Amino acid sequence: MQLDPATLSWDAAYKYLNGAILPRPIAFVSTVDAEGNLNLAPFSFFTAVAANPMTICFSVMRRGTDGEKKDTLRNIEATKEFVVNVVSESFANQMNVTAGEFPQNVSEFEESGLTPVASTVVKAPRVKESLVNFECKLTEIVHIGDDKGAGSLVIGQVVQVHVDDEVHFDGKIDTKKLQPIGRLAGADYVRCTDTFEMMRKK
């Protein structure tokens, strides 16, 4: 089968992306708006960009209901800051609660029962339950489209890293103790438990 993306609706194209690009790590992004309202939302279009300067990125798609920008994007555009929190299986259900659409003045921290704690450099709070947090200053936003299914690539420089002592060893992170989860298609998630090793040739 061959598909011409120009002939697909945005939601059909989305299903092909979600069904083939996997597993996808989850950027659990916390932000704050100009009035101090806290926001927390998961995004599975997420990856690292560079180590020097330490940079990460994630994509925020427009809302599928009305094509409007999500609160996360609006907050980052206003404050130029955000925090990416790594999701462990221990609070997966609470993370899932925050994926719903809430009014702008409703805190997903309160709805999910997760705990906001002060960051070191940025104003946006970290998620206390998360074992790794990346405080970021906005580098650039690249907007792709402006309707339903459109997205905005948010690139941020990491200005502070928090790693819980429980998962930190020898300058590295213990994946088994971190127990990160990732997104698959639909409502499916994946654990990082069934792994195998391949050494690169020198």
* Residue 156's pLDDT band (cuts 50, 70, 90): very high
Q: Is residue 202 part of a domain?
A: no
> Which residues have C-beta within 8 Å of that of residue 195, sequence separation ≥ 6?
none
Q: Is 47 helix (H, G, I), strand (E, B) or coil?
A: strand
Is the residue at 32 inside a domain? Answer: yes
- Backbone φ and ψ for 155, nearest 5 degrees, come out as -110, 130
CA atoms within 13 A of residue 130's CA, in its CB half-sphere: 30
Q: Which residue has the tokens 């590295």?
A: 172
Whether residue 53 is preceded by a cis peptide bond, meaning omega within 30 degrees of 0, is yes
Q: Is residue 134 part of a domain?
A: yes
- Name every residue whose Cβ is closer than 8 Å to that of residue 38 and which is 6 or more positions away in sequence: 30, 31, 32, 107, 108, 109, 116, 124, 125
Q: Is 197 contained in some domain?
A: no
- For 96, phi and psi rounded to 5 degrees? -65, -35
- Rounded Cα distance between 202 and 198, Å, is 12
Asked if the structure places residue 11 within a domain, the reply is yes
User: pLDDT tens digit string along 103-140?
Assistant: 888 899 999 999 999 999 999 999 999 999 999 999 99
Q: Determine the Cα–Cα distance for residues 135 and 110; give it in Å rounded to an integer.
A: 21
Percent of the chain predicted with pLDDT > 90: 92
- The structure tokens 């300058």 sit at 171
Give the chain's domain count.
1
Asked whether the predicted pLDDT for residue 155 surpasses 90, the reply is yes
pLDDT tens track for 159-195: 999 999 999 999 999 999 999 999 999 999 999 999 9
Identify the domain containing residue 146 by its residue range: 5-191
pLDDT (tens digit per residue) in 14-39:
999 999 999 999 999 999 999 999 99
Q: What is the mean pLDDT of the chain?
A: 96
Length, in residues, of the chain: 202
Question: Helix, strand, or coil here: 15?
Answer: helix
The yes-or-no verdict on residue 80 having pLDDT over 90 is yes
Q: From CA 100, how far away is CA 40, in angstroms rounded?
A: 10
Check residue 103 and give its pLDDT. 86
Q: Is the pLDDT at 65 greater than 90, yes or no? A: no
Q: What is the pLDDT of residue 66?
A: 87
What is the CATH number for 114?
Answer: 2.30.110.10
Res 122: pLDDT: 98
196 is a domain residue: no
